Structure 1
Amino acid sequence: MKIKNIICLSVICLAFGNLSAQNPWPPTTNTAQPWTRWWWMGNAVDEKGLDKQLTTLHKAGFGGVEIVPIYGAKGFENQYINYLSPEWMKMLQFTTNKAKSMNMGVDMAVGTGWPIGGPQVDEQDAATKMIVQTYTISSGEKFSEKIVLKDEKLKNLKRIKLNIVTAYNEKNEAIVLTEKITSDGSLNWKPDSGKWTVYAVFTGKTLQKVKRAAPGGEGYTLDHFSPDATKDYLKTFDKAFGNSNYGVRSFFNDSYEVFNADWTPDFTNEFKKRRGYDLSPYIKYLVSDEDNEITTRIKSDYRETLSELILNNFADNFTSWADSKNSKNTNQAHGSPGNLLDLYAAVDIPESETFGSTVFDIPGLRRDSADVQKSDIPDINMLKFASSAANVTGKPLISNETFTWLTEHFKTSWSQAKPEVEQVFLSGINHVFYHGTTYTPADVPFPGWLFYASVNFVPENSLWPHLKGLNSYIERTQSVLQSGKSDNEVLMYWPIYDQWANPKGKDMAFKVHNVEKWLQPTPFYQDLTKLSKIGYSLDMISDKMIGESTFQNQRIQTTDKGSSYQVLIIPELKYLPETTLNHILKLAENGASVVFQNEPKDIPGYFEVEKRRNELTSLWNKIPFQNQGETMKIATFGKGKIILSFDVAKGLEYLRIEREKLTETGLKFVRRTFDGGKYYFIVNHTSKEINQFVPMNYTGKQTTIMNPENGDFGVAEVQNNLVKIQLKPGESLVLKTVENPDKSIPKWKYIEKTDSPIILNQPWHLSFKEGGPELPKSRNLKKLEPWTNFSEDPATQSFSGTGVYTTTLNLNKKNADDYLLKFDKLYESAKVIVNGQDAGIVWSIPFEINIGKYLKKGKNTIQIEVCNLMANRIRYMDQNKIQWRNYHEINFVNIDYKAFDASNWKVQPSGLDGQIQLMPLHYSK
């Protein structure tokens, strides 16, 4: 046992760089390491292949995998394994055993492809939609038409049911005729007068099937609104798993992409039970897009009911089932027609998703418009729905499907991944899953099996040798972000009833992919953006969460395990339930501070409108507002304070809620609190270098700077709550503030000045060590150039792999404190070896690395092992019509979801270009 402990400590020390007894970094765990979604194509896996790939992933710094079976490759059908079959369960058990032996974790999807469904979903449990047919009937006319379903696609289904029949005259007077329909569809009713329109509502089926299904997983998608459907679906897993969880840490459900599912067989009964009235007389307004009060109120109630059904009947049951297996569950709530905050909060690990790439101001960061999605995503405020739900309810892990369609295939570098994952961290997320890794059998040639929407985190990727740089960075950062609790001071209410009152459409899906429609235009979003920019840290809160909150120890406490907050903001809105206002006033009465951006105008929904509206007005009128200047009203309410101001920032300022002024420099941050101190994770996504004293709200008795790229640390220089920070564009750091100083920690090494750079413009030797389709010829270079400049050697144009640039440097004197090796242009990442010693990986902007401790006076040998993109080799294969993509289902597509073809691509520059400088550094004493 002692020997094992020594080995473990050695591994930790290697992972975190220059560590000793005073190491301020939190202990690392496999959840701090990145995980990856692991596609099993056709489930064509075997023990030898699983062992090899898990070992490879472990060595690269992954902490776990998430198994998602999908469609298979053609020609391997005889190796397919049916999902959840005994053979599949045997492969799962082997995987979890092997992973456990390396301290890795294993999650798995509860289904194949997405959204969940499969052969166990019969017609009754399949996703359901309402089908509305209309008829006209006038007094004195004989109505001979049968009220039966006309949709030919659904006529043969057994579960089609006529739910509601309601007639409306020209005055919009309604008569419910459901009981007047005979078994053959005849209408046993005649109007006494006037012309009537009859609305017939059928319970239909969407007929949607699982997308990208694996063998054994094909079938209808699930009716998420039905408790029986959810329970029936999970019985298949009970049968396969028995009393064991097979070592699965968490069962995963992908984003809700069930299209046109807006009903469930028992909807009318559930609606009446939850909303207090029968929907039947109002069905006309539900299917109308007319912008009137009845329509908006009926639709609001309908959408609220759908939200409660998916929460109670799917999310809650899914969590209970996973917990019964002694496992956790992970759920992507986005895309669903429900309150995202409540849905994320209902599971053990809420998971968000990024899709596409973000525009950053970092100089030198490559972003070719032809290689990225044309969209407004990712959006940091969208990501905050998942982290807010976790923070408010005390979930320690918030995960994220990261890098989905970051750029075009084979063109993503690790330097592009870094700011994207930093934005995920800044949203409060702390447990990233790469999207992703595809299992490939050993006998499949380059590029192996690939999934069409991912960055290829696979060993066949020519950038793989340097992935440890990105993974180690994420591991260090997440070790901090998984410590303690989120330390956001502001809660902001999500006015979902303003969304639900939209007169257009029926169900309302809150998707990652259309935030420009439902999120970005709202005052709520504008407040989030403005307050974050000026230095406030915010979480969102739902009506349900407000109802569960209390005021304790001078703060709003959301749950026993959740975070606590200084203030609650109610942004500009129209609709606010009187029950929510009542809860808000109780919080204020007990001492909470609340800022309203405007007076709530109305209550949502249709039930007892006047009574509830009067209650809302009565509650509001209890607040004894006094004018505070022209733009603000204030009230002392019990032990608390209520502010009414359209400028919520001024309201926060009046309440003396301190913002972090460090954002005035352009820096972004996220803050955590732990017993005895706080962590700040700070990034510079601006175009300018930060070299100054930066204001901090918390500096404690000691502030330590920690570099998540290499693990270095040292005590910061602090003056009057100002911390000296040096950050170049693209760099990040962690600040750890504590009340009990550790005097054994050395001072941070600030760069005081640099001497004139040494330009490495001497001859270089270029050789190639691994890659393909063939190694280019070695050559001597008079100056640094990309190897793709040498088009006379065709191999340089098609090669993807590692090229080695070697030179010697005579250092006449070594009188600087350190030396910085600075790259002008690097395509794409490099391992630096100085005098035979590994100095580290250069993989992110700015492309530079400290190598002083490896240099010596006199002759020095410098090797730079450069890895380039996969793109040139794929271009070559497509130009020569070498078959490499041959899959069932979607096969393989480009970023615009069109057939993939790289034959017309330009050769991507590869290797080193421009100058390499050696900068002598002098540190402040």
Structure 2
Amino acid sequence: MKIKNIISLSLICFAFGNLSAQNPWPKTTETAKPWTRWWWMGNAVDEKGLDKQLTTLNKAGFGGVEIVPIYGAKGFENQYINYLSSEWMKMLQFTTNKAKSLNMGVDMAVGTGWPIGGPQVSEEDAATKMIVQTYTISSGEKFSEKIVLNGEKLKNLKTIKLDIVTAYNEKNEAVVLNDKITNDGSLNWKPYSGKWTIYAVFTGKTLQKVKRAAPGGEGYTLDHFSPVATVNYLKTFDKAFGNSNYGVRSFFNDSYEVYNADWTPDFKNEFKKRRGYDLSPYIKYLINNDENEVTTRVKSDYRQTLSELILNNFADNFTNWAHSKNSKNTNQAHGSPGNLLDLYAAVDIPESETFGSSIFEIPGLKRDTADIQKSDMPDFNMLKFASSVANVTGKKLTSNETFTWLTEHFKTSWSQAKPEVEQVFLSGINHVFYHGTTYTPADVPFPGWLFYASVNFVPENSLWPHLTGLNSYIERTQSVLQSGKSDNELLMYWPIYDQWATPKGKDIAFKVHNVEKWLQPTPMYENLNKLSKMGYSLDMISDKMINESKSENQKIQTAKEGSSYQVLIIPELTYLPETTLNDILKLAQNGASVIFQNEPKDIPGNFEVEKRRNQLKSLWNQIPFQNQAENVKIASFGKGKIVLSSDVEKGLEYLKIQREKLTDTGLKFVRRQFDGGKYYYIVNHTSKEINQFVPINYTGKQTTIMNPENGDFGVAEMQNNSVRIQLKSGESLILKNSETVDSSISKWKYAEKTDAPIVLDQTWQLSFKEGGPELPKSRNLKKLEPWTNFSDDPATQSFSGTGIYTINLNVKKKNADEYLLKFDKLYESAKVIVNGQDAGIVWSIPFEINIGKYLKKGKNTIQIEVCNLMANRIRYMDQKKITWRNYNEINFVNIDYKPFDASNWKVQPSGLDGQIQIIPLTYSK
């Protein structure tokens, strides 16, 4: 037991740096560590392999796994295990037991591949669509056609039924003919005059199957709008799990990628119950794309109904089911044809997704346009949908599927991953899942089994030895971002009815991949961008959440455990429900501050339009606005204030809401509050070094700087509510501002000046360890350069693994406070060993590390163990036509979803290049 305690303490010291003082870092947990999506290809897993891979992941710093079964590898069919079979459940139980012994967590998908579905989804429960056929009939004309579904593909389905039949004349007068159709499809009706068009709506099926399904998971995609379908689907899991959750922390549902599903068998009745009128006389307006008022109103009501159906019938049922198993649930709401905020809020852990590569100004950060997605780039405000919900409703965790298609296969370095995950953190997300890790049996040669759309967080990755650098950085950062609660001051209403009122199309799917269509062109998006850059912190809120909020102490309290906010902003909009305006005025009456960018023009929907429109105007007219200045009107309303201005910034000034001026430097931040203080997580994504006093709104009595890369900490230098910050491009830090003073914490070490650098331009020795296909020959180097420069040794062109650069140098004097080892060019990451002692991992920009404590006067030996990308070895294998990708279903594709072939790639530079310097530093006293 004593030995175990010593090991645990050493691990804590590794994770969080110097513990001689009172440690300001929050206690780490399994959720603070990164998790990874864990693909079980063909479910071809066994206990020995599961044990080995979980142990390996644990040693690398992972806190948990998310099991997602998918298609399998060819030649291993006899090892496949059917999803949810007794053998599969045995493997799950072994996994959760092993993970528990390692203090790791396990989540699992409620389905294989995506979107959810499978063999338990009957034709009746399958994703449903409306199929519309039109006919014409004139007065005095005999209608000889049968109103039956045409088309060979669907007409043999048992569930096809005629749902609505409505006729329209040239004056748009409507006659519902549902009761005029006989069983064989004959029409028992004749128009009294004129020419009529008949619209026949059939309840059909999309016939979509589960994509990338695993054995035992093949079948139709689920009808998310049907409560019966959802309950029936989950019964299969009830049968497999019984009363146990088998140790699963959270059941996961991937993004909604159900195509053409725009109906459900009971939609007509649900619509009437929820919207107050029969849709049948208006079906023409739903089908057509005419730009008129009735069309926009009917389509808005239709889309609102879809939103409520997926919320009530799928998301709520999914959550209740997970809770019945004493587990949580996780859902990626994006892609759904519904209010994303309400859908994210319906589950325990809302999960967003990053897809593609962002642009950063960080010098030296690789972003080869040939190796990135051409159309997709993560959108910061899209990420905020999920985190907003967590903050507003008081959920502790917001997760994110991270690094999907960050770069082309085998070309992603950990330095490229860092700013991308920082963008996720800055959006308010605090629980990242890597995308991802693939289970591989021990007897499968390099590169093992791989998934086609991911960064390869697998032990076979030549960069694996240095992954602990990225993982420990994320662990420290998330330990802070999971502490306390969000401290955003502004709420931004999402005017979803403006989205729903578009006359084009039927359902509207709010996807990650098309934000340029539905999100970016909106006034809300413009406000989010502008205010964030100015230093305001915002969350988004829905009509439902406004209804559930109340005013307390001049602030808006959004939920019992949720955050409180200073101002609610209603961006420029056309449609606002009178019920929502009434809820907003109640908040103001009780002390809230509200900014309207414009007067709402109308109510949405097609029910009792004039009555509701008058109610909206009546409510608005209750606000006693007074001109305050040009473009600014202000009203005292009960205990609160209401501002009307197209310039939200001016409105915030009149309400005396302070922004964080630190963003004037280009720094980005996210702020959290804890008992007795506030955290600031600050990142420098600019192209320049920041070395100055930076103002912050809350300082407390002591500000401690914490470095999430190495765990160092110290008391900051303060001046007039400003903190001195030194951040090079690509670096980050955390400020802990406390109302208590801890005198045991030393001052933060600021580099005051640097002396002339020591240039390591002596002879280097280069040798190799770990990797393949074979180790290159060792050699002496007159100057530092990548090993891929030495084409005289063919092995250097194909090698992926670890090369060791060694140099001996004589340090004549050692009188500086610190010595910084600075790399010029590093391909891709390095472990630095000084005089036999491990100084740490260099894995992110700027490529540098402090080595003063290991350096000595006189003779020194420095070893730099460099890991390169997998790319060169994969290139070699494709040139030699060595089979390594051999999967069922989709085999393996490149970033443009074309067949993958690395044989024509250029050799990726590997190792060290340019100068390496040791820079003496003097710290301020």
Question: Same fold by TM-score, threshold 0.5 exceeded?
Answer: yes
- SS of 2:202's equivalent? strand
Which residue identity lines up with residue 798 of structure 2 in the other structure? S
Question: Is the aligned partner of 1:192 residue 2:192?
Answer: yes
Cα distance in 1 for residues equivalent to 2:19 and 2:48 = 37
Cα distance in 2 for residues equivalent to 1:375 and 1:484 = 37
Which residue of structure 2 aligns with residue 891 of structure 1? Answer: 891
Cα distance in 1 for residues equivalent to 2:216 and 2:285 = 42
Which residue of structure 1 aligns with residue 700 of structure 2? Answer: 700
> What's the CA shift string for 1:780-816, capped at 9, x where partnerless?
0001010000001000000000000000110000010
Structure 2: tracts of 5 or more residues without a match? none
- SS of 2:155's equivalent? coil
Residue 630 of structure 1, CA deviation: 1.4
Which residue identity lines up with residue 698 of structure 2 in the other structure? Y
Cα distance in 1 for residues equivalent to 2:787 and 2:139 = 86
| Structural mapping, 1:304-323, within 5 Å | 304-323=304-323
Residue 17 of structure 1, CA deviation: 1.7
Which residue of structure 2 aligns with residue 655 of structure 1? Answer: 655
Residue 553 of structure 1, CA deviation: 2.3
Are 2:822 and 2:917, in contact at CA under 8 Å, matched by a contact in 1? Answer: yes
Which residue of structure 2 aligns with residue 681 of structure 1? Answer: 681
Which residue of structure 2 aligns with residue 763 of structure 1? Answer: 763
Residue 16 of structure 1, CA deviation: 1.2
- SS of 1:424's equivalent? helix
Which residue of structure 2 aligns with residue 116 of structure 1? Answer: 116
Which residue of structure 1 aligns with residue 20 of structure 2? Answer: 20
> What's the CA shift string for 1:547-581, capped at 9, x where partnerless?
00000122100000000000000000000000000
Are 1:58 and 1:104, in contact at CA under 8 Å, matched by a contact in 2? Answer: yes
Cα distance in 1 for residues equivalent to 2:12 and 2:336 = 41
Question: Is the aligned partner of 1:598 residue 2:594?
Answer: no
Cα distance in 1 for residues equivalent to 2:328 and 2:267 = 30
Question: Is the aligned partner of 1:540 residue 2:547?
Answer: no
Which residue of structure 2 aligns with residue 41 of structure 1? Answer: 41
Which residue identity lines up with residue 665 of structure 2 in the other structure? T
> What's the CA shift string for 1:65-123, capped at 9, x where partnerless?
00000000000000000000000000000000000000000000000000000000000
Are 2:208 and 2:220, in contact at CA under 8 Å, matched by a contact in 1? Answer: yes
Which residue identity lines up with residue 889 of structure 1 in the other structure? E
Cα distance in 2 for residues equivalent to 1:173 and 1:612 = 24
Residue 5 of structure 1, CA deviation: 4.9
- SS of 1:765's equivalent? strand
Are 2:554 and 2:640, in contact at CA under 8 Å, matched by a contact in 1? Answer: no
Which residue of structure 2 aligns with residue 31 of structure 1? Answer: 31
Which residue identity lines up with residue 412 of structure 1 in the other structure? T
Cα distance in 2 for residues equivalent to 1:553 and 1:743 = 34
Cα distance in 1 for residues equivalent to 2:14 and 2:361 = 33
Are 1:403 and 1:455, in contact at CA under 8 Å, matched by a contact in 2? Answer: yes
Which residue of structure 2 aligns with residue 69 of structure 1? Answer: 69
Are 2:553 and 2:591, in contact at CA under 8 Å, matched by a contact in 1? Answer: no
Which residue of structure 2 aligns with residue 834 of structure 1? Answer: 834
Which residue identity lines up with residue 708 of structure 1 in the other structure? P
Are 1:377 and 1:512, in contact at CA under 8 Å, matched by a contact in 2? Answer: no
> What's the CA shift string for 1:122-144, capped at 9, x where partnerless?
00100000000000000011001
Residue 11 of structure 1, CA deviation: 2.3
- SS of 1:153's equivalent? helix
Which residue of structure 2 aligns with residue 914 of structure 1? Answer: 914
Cα distance in 1 for residues equivalent to 2:3 and 2:540 = 48
Which residue identity lines up with residue 591 of structure 1 in the other structure? G
Cα distance in 1 for residues equivalent to 2:21 and 2:924 = 24
Are 1:376 and 1:516, in contact at CA under 8 Å, matched by a contact in 2? Answer: no
Cα distance in 1 for residues equivalent to 2:21 and 2:687 = 37
Which residue of structure 1 aligns with residue 554 of structure 2? Answer: 554
Which residue identity lines up with residue 363 of structure 1 in the other structure? P
Which residue of structure 2 aligns with residue 870 of structure 1? Answer: 870
Which residue identity lines up with residue 305 of structure 1 in the other structure? T
Residue 12 of structure 1, CA deviation: 1.8
> What's the CA shift string for 1:239-291, capped at 9, x where partnerless?
00011100000000000000000000000000000000000000000011111
Across the aligned residues of Structure 1 and Structure 2, the Cα RMSD in angstroms comes to 0.7
Residue 629 of structure 1, CA deviation: 1.3
Which residue of structure 1 aligns with residue 577 of structure 2? Answer: 577
Which residue of structure 2 aligns with residue 782 of structure 1? Answer: 782
| Structural mapping, 1:347-746, within 5 Å | 347-746=347-746
Cα distance in 2 for residues equivalent to 1:7 and 1:852 = 26
Residue 377 of structure 1, CA deviation: 2.1
Residue 152 of structure 1, CA deviation: 1.3
- SS of 1:854's equivalent? coil
Which residue of structure 1 aligns with residue 255 of structure 2? Answer: 255
Which residue of structure 1 aligns with residue 215 of structure 2? Answer: 215
Cα distance in 1 for residues equivalent to 2:114 and 2:686 = 38
Cα distance in 2 for residues equivalent to 1:237 and 1:728 = 51
Residue 4 of structure 1, CA deviation: 4.9
Which residue of structure 2 aligns with residue 127 of structure 1? Answer: 127
Residue 10 of structure 1, CA deviation: 3.3
Are 1:129 and 1:206, in contact at CA under 8 Å, matched by a contact in 2? Answer: yes
Residue 435 of structure 1, CA deviation: 0.1
Moved over 3 A (4+): 1-10
Which residue of structure 2 aligns with residue 142 of structure 1? Answer: 142
Which residue identity lines up with residue 138 of structure 1 in the other structure? S
Cα distance in 2 for residues equivalent to 1:653 and 1:63 = 44
Which residue of structure 2 aligns with residue 817 of structure 1? Answer: 817
Which residue identity lines up with residue 99 of structure 1 in the other structure? A
> What's the CA shift string for 1:723-754, capped at 9, x where partnerless?
00000000000000000111110000000000
Which residue of structure 2 aligns with residue 852 of structure 1? Answer: 852
Are 1:176 and 1:280, in contact at CA under 8 Å, matched by a contact in 2? Answer: yes
Are 2:99 and 2:105, in contact at CA under 8 Å, matched by a contact in 1? Answer: yes
| Structural mapping, 1:160-239, within 5 Å | 160-239=160-239
Residue 19 of structure 1, CA deviation: 1.9
Residue 18 of structure 1, CA deviation: 1.6
Cα distance in 1 for residues equivalent to 2:430 and 2:152 = 49
Cα distance in 2 for residues equivalent to 1:809 and 1:275 = 80
Structure 1: tracts of 5 or more residues without a match? none
Which residue of structure 2 aligns with residue 87 of structure 1? Answer: 87
Are 2:361 and 2:685, in contact at CA under 8 Å, matched by a contact in 1? Answer: yes
Question: Is the aligned partner of 1:297 residue 2:266?
Answer: no
Residue 3 of structure 1, CA deviation: 6.2
- SS of 1:316's equivalent? helix
Which residue identity lines up with residue 775 of structure 2 in the other structure? L
Which residue identity lines up with residue 900 of structure 1 in the other structure? F
- SS of 2:237's equivalent? helix
Are 1:256 and 1:335, in contact at CA under 8 Å, matched by a contact in 2? Answer: yes
Cα distance in 2 for residues equivalent to 1:842 and 1:2 = 33
Which residue identity lines up with residue 177 of structure 1 in the other structure? L
Are 1:831 and 1:841, in contact at CA under 8 Å, matched by a contact in 2? Answer: yes
Cα distance in 2 for residues equivalent to 1:469 and 1:60 = 9
> What's the CA shift string for 1:605-646, capped at 9, x where partnerless?
000000000000000000000001111000000010000010
Are 1:36 and 1:66, in contact at CA under 8 Å, matched by a contact in 2? Answer: yes
Residue 151 of structure 1, CA deviation: 2.4
Cα distance in 1 for residues equivalent to 2:387 and 2:217 = 31
Are 2:411 and 2:870, in contact at CA under 8 Å, matched by a contact in 1? Answer: yes
Which residue identity lines up with residue 724 of structure 2 in the other structure? K
- SS of 2:776's equivalent? coil
Which residue identity lines up with residue 409 of structure 1 in the other structure? H
Which residue of structure 1 aligns with residue 53 of structure 2? Answer: 53
- SS of 1:214's equivalent? coil
- SS of 1:745's equivalent? coil
Which residue of structure 1 aligns with residue 880 of structure 2? Answer: 880
> What's the CA shift string for 1:809-830, capped at 9, x where partnerless?
1000001000000000000000
Which residue identity lines up with residue 696 of structure 1 in the other structure? I
- SS of 1:198's equivalent? strand
